[in-house]
C-alpha cells in the first residue's frame, strides 16, 4: 500500500517501484520511526486531535510493534512497503484499524524521515563515542606496556631521531581525542528536532514543538521548517568526522604494516588479526591493517557522494535526499568495525624491542645531539649543523656510527669537542633530553599517560594566548576535566529521557526509595517532569536515571540519581551527573546543588560542601527526611558551573 495513491490513475511500474523504494536501506530506522510516532500521538492528543483512549491504543500497538522489530528487524524486508514510514503505518493500521490512519494528521514524511534519521544518528553517535574511547584506552595500554621501548622516529620515511614506542602510541591517542571532539560537536548540532515542520511550511496544528522535542530526547526544536526538512548537514558532518578518523586509522595501520614488514621487523601481529597465503606457507600477512587502510577510501567516498548530492538542491525536500542513508549507514558501520579491529590489533601486538633499538642506533639518529652539543660550546647552530654533516659523511665512509669515531677523529672537525661528547651520543641521552611537554623522554611519556588517565591532557592547549600563569592553568585544567567528563558521559550512552522511559524510571525510583536511598516520586510526577530526566543505557537497556530540577535562573538541584544494582561500579552514576553538569553549562546555570548522604562521591565530581542553612526554605522543604537515615548525616553540596570558556 502506498501513502500517496489518490492523485494517480495508474499504478507505478514494477521497475520504478524497485528504483524508488528505500525500505531495504531505511528499515534500520524502524525503532526510531516508532518512537517518533508515539511522541507524535501524544502531541496530537495535546491539541485535541486524538483522545486519551485513542492515544493509549496507538501507544500500546506501537510498543508491541517496537518489541517485535527489536527481536527480529529483518522481518521488515519481507514487505513490499515503499519505506519504513509506510511499513510502520501499514502495521499500525492492521493492529488498530482506521485509528491507525489518524496518526499521520499534521505530519509529513519529510519531517518524519528527518526526525528518524537524527534519532538514529544520536543513538549511533553514542556507540561511536564509546568505540573511540575504547580505542584510546587500547593505545594507552600499549603505550604503558612499551613505554621504555626505543623506536626509530621517521621523517620522509628516513630514520630521523629516536623516540619511544609509547610516544608513538600517544600520537594516535591525540588524533583520536580530536575525533572525539569532532563527533561531540556534530552530535550537539544535530540534537534539534524537526518533527512538526510538516512537508516544508510547518504543521497547521498548534503543536508545542519544544515539548515534543523534549519528549523525544532532543535539546530543542528546529526554528525554520524549510531548513528542518531539507537539512542534511548532520549527515555530512558525521561523514566528515568518520573520514578524518578513518584517515587517522589508516595512518595507524600503515605504520604497523611497515613496522611488521620483514625489512623492519619491529612488531609482530597477533594471529587473531593476520592471515596466510594460499601459495606460500611461510607468509603471515597483516590483513587487518591493510583492510583498515583500504576501507578508509570507502568512507571518503560516502562523504564525497553526499556533498555532491546536496551541492545544488533547491529548498526544500527533494527525493535526492533519499541517497543520504545508504552511504551514512555503511560509512559509520565501517568506521565502527575498523575501530574495533584496531583495538584487537593493539591488544595483540608484540614489539621486538631488540630490533627497534638496533634500528634506532643506526642511521645516525644521534646527529642532532652532536649538533646540540656543539651549540652548548658556543658554536652557532647553522655552523654546528654543517660540522656534523661532515662528521656523518666521514662515519658513512668508515661504515661506523658516530659514537664509534675516536675523539681524535671527531676533533678533526671541531677542536671544541671533548671526551664528554660520548655521553651525549647515547640513545639514553638522546631520549632523556626530550623532557619538554609533548616530548619523547620516558619520564615525559609516563607523565602524559598519567595526565590523560587523570583527565588532564591538553592543559596548555586550553590556555589563553600569552604567558601561562598559574591561574590560567587552573582554569584550563577545570575546562579540560569538564570536557572529558562530558565525553565519558556520552560514551556511557547517557541521553535525555523519553516518555517511553517513564515506567523504567518509576520502577528504579520506587525500588531505591523503598530502601530509603532517595525520596519517592509518583508515576504522574515523573511523567510531568520527564523533560528534566536523563537515563543511562547499557546495550540499549535503561540502567539508571537522574533529574535536574531548576529552582530559578541560576540555580538547579540534581535529584533521583539511581542505577540498577547489577550495573553498579560501571561508572553510570557519575556519567549521569556529568551529563547533567554539561547540560547545566549549556543552559547557562550558575550553581548546581545536591543533598546527599555520600559527600565523598560528589566531591570526586567537583562538588564542595556548603552550609545547609544557606539554602532557601523552599529547597529544604522539598527535601523530606528519609525514615531510614539520620537527618544530621545529610550534607548540602554545590557545584559552580564554569562559564569562562564560553
What would the pLDDT profile of 283-331 be if each residue is shown by its tens digit?
Answer: 678 899 999 999 999 999 999 999 999 998 998 888 888 889 999 999 9
3-state secondary structure 62-86: HHHHHHHHHHCHHHHHHCCCCCHHH
107-111, 262-266, 455-459 — which is least confidently predicted? 455-459
pLDDT score, position 472: 37
The answer on 116 and 84 residing in a single domain is no
Return the SS3 of 623. coil
pLDDT at position 479, please? Answer: 44
pLDDT tier, 623 (very low <50, low <70, confident <90, very high otherwise): low
Same domain, 181 and 199: yes
Q: Residue 430 pLDDT more than 90?
A: no
Residues 507 and 600 in one domain: yes
Q: What is the pLDDT of residues 142-190, one digit of tens each?
A: 998 998 898 988 888 888 788 889 999 999 999 999 999 999 999 999 9
Annotated active-site residue 277? The verdict is yes
Q: What is the mean pLDDT of residues 566-588?
A: 83
**Domain presence at residue 478:** no
Both 88 and 121 in one domain: the answer is no
Report angle CA 21, 26, 31 to the nearest 5 degrees. 135
Whether residue 529 is predicted with pLDDT greater than 80 in this model: the reply is yes
Q: Tell which of 386, 409, 425 closes a domain.
A: 425
Burial class (CB in 10 A: 0-12, 13-18, 19+), 330: middle
Question: Is the same domain home to 145 and 243?
Answer: yes
Helix, coil or strand: residue 94: helix
CATH at residue 392: 1.10.40.30
The CATH number for 152's domain is 1.20.200.10
Domain boundary among 105, 136, 164: 105
Regarding pTM above 0.85, the answer is no
> Residue 371: what pLDDT?
85
Q: Is-contact 481 456, C-beta < 8 A?
A: yes
Residue 156 bears catalytic tag = yes
pLDDT of residue 453: 64
Q: Would you state the pLDDT for residue 155?
A: 85
User: 99 and 115 share a domain?
Assistant: no
Q: What is the pLDDT of residue 468?
A: 32
Q: What is the pLDDT of residue 456?
A: 38
Instruction: Tell the residue number behind the cell numbers 522535542, with chain if given.
Output: 213
Q: How confident is the model at residue 340 (pLDDT cuts 50, 70, 90)?
A: very high
Q: Which residues, in sequence order, are CB contacts of 465 under 8 Å at separation 6+?
A: none
Identify the pLDDT of residue 279.
Answer: 58
Residues 157 and 92 grouped into a single domain: no
Residue of 51, 60, 261, 277 with catalytic role: 277
Grid coordinates representing 496? 535525555
The Cα 343–Cα 367 span in angstroms is 36
Question: Could you say which of 288, 319, 352 is where a domain stops?
Answer: 352
CB atoms inside a 10 Å sphere around CB 104: 17
Domain assignment present for residue 474? The answer is: no
Asked whether residue 300 falls in the same domain as residue 333, the answer is yes
pLDDT confidence tier of residue 253, bands split at 50, 70 and 90? very high
Task: Identify the CA nearest to 359 among candidates 485, 265, 461.
Answer: 265
Q: Which of 156, 278, 569, 613 is catalytic?
A: 156
- Residue-averaged pLDDT of the chain: 84
User: 39: closest CA among 217, 216, 193?
Assistant: 216
Question: Rounded mean pLDDT of 215-221?
Answer: 91
Query: Is 482 domain-assigned?
Result: no
Does residue 531 surpass a pLDDT of 60?
yes
Note whether 96 and 54 are within 8 A (CB). no
Residue 294 corresponds to which cell in the numbers above?
583500504
Mean pLDDT of 97-124: 94
Q: What is the pLDDT of residue 493?
A: 72
Whole-number Å distance between alpha carbons of 415 and 407: 10
Tell me the CATH number at 548. 3.40.630.30
> Which pLDDT score, from 0 to 100, does residue 633 have?
82
Task: Tell me the per-residue pLDDT of 602-621, one tens digit each, with 9 for 90 and over.
Answer: 988 889 999 988 888 777 76
The secondary structure of 559-614, three-state, reads EEEEECHHHCCCCHHHHHHHHHHHHHHHCCCCEEEEEECCHHHHHCCCCEEECHHH
Confidence band (pLDDT; 50, 70, 90) for 467?
very low
Does residue 384 lie in a domain region? yes
Residue ranges making up the domain that contains 410: 367-425
The top-scoring range by mean pLDDT among 72-76, 525-529, 576-580 is 72-76
The confidence score (pLDDT) of residue 642 equals 65
Return d(Cα 306, Cα 287) in angstroms, integer: 29
Confidence of residue 427 (pLDDT cuts 50, 70, 90): low
Are 178 and 30 within one domain? Answer: no
Crossing angle of the two packed helices 233-260 and 324-347, in degrees rounded to 10: 30
Q: What's the CA angle centered on 360, arms 358 and 362, to 5 degrees?
A: 75
Distance CA 222, CA 190 (A): 10
Mean per-residue pLDDT for 33-62? 95
Q: Quick one: pLDDT at residue 455? A: 59
Least confident range from 93-97, 220-224, 265-269, 528-532: namely: 528-532
- Report whether pLDDT(6) > 80: no
Q: Are residues 289 and 148 in the same domain?
A: yes
- 373 and 342 part of one domain: no
pLDDT 10s digits, 379-404: 898 988 999 888 889 888 888 877 77
Separation in Å, CA 537 to CA 370, 523, 527, 567:
57, 20, 19, 10
In a domain, residue 381? The reply is: yes
Which residues 6+ apart lie within 8 Å of 583 measured at CB? 219, 534, 548
Report whether pLDDT(370) > 60: yes
Per-residue pLDDT, averaged over 475-486, amounts to 44
Please state the φ and ψ torsions of residue 76, each to the nearest 5 degrees.
Answer: -60, -35
What percent of the chain lies above the pLDDT cut of 90?
46
Portion of the chain with pLDDT greater than 70, in percent: 85
Range 353-359 average pLDDT: 88
- Is the pLDDT confidence value at 460 over 50? no
CA dist., res. 383 & res. 600, Å (int): 60
Whether 227 and 191 map to the same domain: the answer is yes
pLDDT above 60 (res 539): yes
Domain tally for the chain?
Answer: 4
Instruction: Specify which residues 386 forms β-bridges with.
Output: none
Judged against a pLDDT cut of 90, whether residue 538 lies above it is answered with no
Weakest mean pLDDT among 172-186, 269-283, 477-491: 477-491
Report pLDDT for 476: 37
CATH of the domain at 97: 1.10.275.10
Q: Does residue 464 fall inside a structural domain? A: no
Do the domain assignments include residue 226?
A: yes
Whether 612 is covered by a domain: the verdict is yes
Amino acid at each position: 500500500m502506498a501513502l500517496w495513491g489518490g492523485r494517480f490513475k495508474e499504478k507505478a511500474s514494477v521497475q520504478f517501484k524497485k528504483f524508488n523504494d528505500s525500505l531495504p536501506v531505511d528499515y534500520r530506522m524502524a525503532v526510531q520511526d516508532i518512537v517518533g510516532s508515539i511522541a507524535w500521538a501524544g502531541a496530537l492528543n495535546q491539541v485535541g486531535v486524538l483522545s486519551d483512549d485513542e492515544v493509549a491504543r496507538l501507544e500500546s500497538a506501537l510498543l508491541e510493534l517496537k518489541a517485535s522489530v527489536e527481536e527480529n528487524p529483518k522481518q521488515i524486508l519481507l514487505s513490499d512497503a515503499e519505506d519504513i514510514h509506510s511499513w510502520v503505518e501499514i502495521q499500525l493500521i492492521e493492529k488498530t484499524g482506521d485509528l491507525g490512519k489518524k496518526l499521520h494528521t499534521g505530519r509529513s514524511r519529510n519531517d518524519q524521515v528527518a526526525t528518524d534519521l537524527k534519532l538514529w544518528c544520536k543513538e549511533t553517535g553514542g556507540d561511536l563515542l564509546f568505540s573511540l574511547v575504547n580505542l584510546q584506552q587500547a593505545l594507552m595500554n600499549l603505550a604503558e606496556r612499551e613505554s621504555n621501548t626505543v623506536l626509530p622516529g621517521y621523517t620522509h620515511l628516513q630514520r630521523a631521531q629516536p623516540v619511544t614506542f609509547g610516544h608513538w602510541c600517544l600520537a594516535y591517542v591525540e588524533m583520536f581525542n580530536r575525533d572525539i571532539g569532532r563527533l561531540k560537536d556534530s552530535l550537539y548540532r544535530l540534537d534539534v528536532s524537526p518533527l512538526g515542520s510538516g512537508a516544508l511550511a510547518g504543521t497547521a496544528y498548534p503543536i508545542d514543538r519544544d515539548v515534543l522535542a523534549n519528549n523525544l530526547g532532543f535539546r530543542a526544536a528546529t526554528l525554520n521548517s524549510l531548513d528542518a526538512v531539507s537539512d542534511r548537514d548532520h549527515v555530512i558532518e558525521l561523514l566528515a568526522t568518520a573520514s578524518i578518523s578513518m584517515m587517522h586509522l589508516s595512518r595507524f595501520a600503515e605504520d604497523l604494516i611497515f613496522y611488521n614488514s620483514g625489512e623492519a621487523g619491529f612488531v609482530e601481529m597477533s594471529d587473531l588479526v593476520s592471515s596466510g597465503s594460499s601459495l606460500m606457507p611461510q607468509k603471515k600477512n597483516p590483513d587487518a591493517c591493510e583492510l583498515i587502510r583500504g576501507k578508509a577510501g570507502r568512507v571518503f567516498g560516502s562523504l564525497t557522494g553526499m556533498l555532491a548530492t546536496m551541492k545544488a538542491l533547491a529548498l526544500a525536500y527533494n527525493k535526492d535526499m533519499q541517497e543520504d542513508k545508504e552511504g551514512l549507514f555503511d560509512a559509520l558501520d565501517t568506521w565502527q568495525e575498523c575501530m574495533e579491529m584496531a583495538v584487537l590489533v593493539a591488544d595483540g601486538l608484540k614489539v621486538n624491542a631488540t630490533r627497534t633499538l638496533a634500528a634506532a642506533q643506526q642511521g645516525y639518529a644521534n646527529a642532532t645531539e652532536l649538533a646540540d652539543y656543539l651549540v652548548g660550546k658556543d658554536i652557532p647552530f647553522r655552523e654546528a649543523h654543517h660540522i656534523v654533516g661532515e662528521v656523518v659523511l666521514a662515519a658513512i665512509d668508515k661504515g661506523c656510527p658516530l659514537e664509534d669515531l675516536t675523539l681524535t677523529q671527531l676533533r678533526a672537525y671541531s677542536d671544541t669537542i671533548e671526551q664528554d661528547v660520548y655521553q651525549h651520543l647515547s640513545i639514553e641521552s638522546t631520549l632523556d633530553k626530550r623532557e619538554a611537554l609533548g616530548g619523547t623522554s620516558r619520564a615525559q611519556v609516563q607523565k602524559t599517560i598519567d595526565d590523560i588517565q587523570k583527565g588532564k591532557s591538553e592543559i596548555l592547549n586550553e590556555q589563553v594566548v600569552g604567558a601561562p600563569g598559574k591561574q590560567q592553568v587552573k582554569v584550563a585544567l577545570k575546562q579540560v576535566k569538564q570536557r572529558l567528563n562530558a565525553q565519558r558521559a556520552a560514551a556511557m550512552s547517557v541521553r535525555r529521557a523519553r516518555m517511553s522511559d517513564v515506567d523504567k524510571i518509576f520502577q528504579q525510583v520506587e525500588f531505591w526509595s523503598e530502601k530509603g536511598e532517595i525520596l519517592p516520586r509518583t508515576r504522574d510526577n515523573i511523567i510531568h517532569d520527564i523533560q528534566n530526566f536523563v537515563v543511562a543505557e547499557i546495550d540499549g537497556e535503561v540502567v539508571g536515571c537522574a533529574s535536574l530540577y531548576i529552582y530559578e535562573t541560576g540555580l538547579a538541584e540534581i535529584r533521583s540519581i539511581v542505577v540498577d544494582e547489577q550495573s553498579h561500579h560501571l561508572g553510570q552514576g557519575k556519567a549521569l551527573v556529568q551529563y547533567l553538569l554539561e547540560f547545566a553549562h549549556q543552559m547557562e546555570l550558575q550553581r548546581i546543588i545536591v543533598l546527599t548522604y555520600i559527600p565523598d562521591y560528589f566531591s570526586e565530581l567537583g562538588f564542595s560542601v556548603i552550609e545547609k542553612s544557606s539554602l532557601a526554605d523552599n529547597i529544604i522543604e522539598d527535601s523530606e527526611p528519609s525514615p531510614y537515615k539520620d537527618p544530621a548525616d545529610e550534607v548540602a553540596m554545590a557545584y559552580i558551573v564554569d562559564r569562562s570558556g564560553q
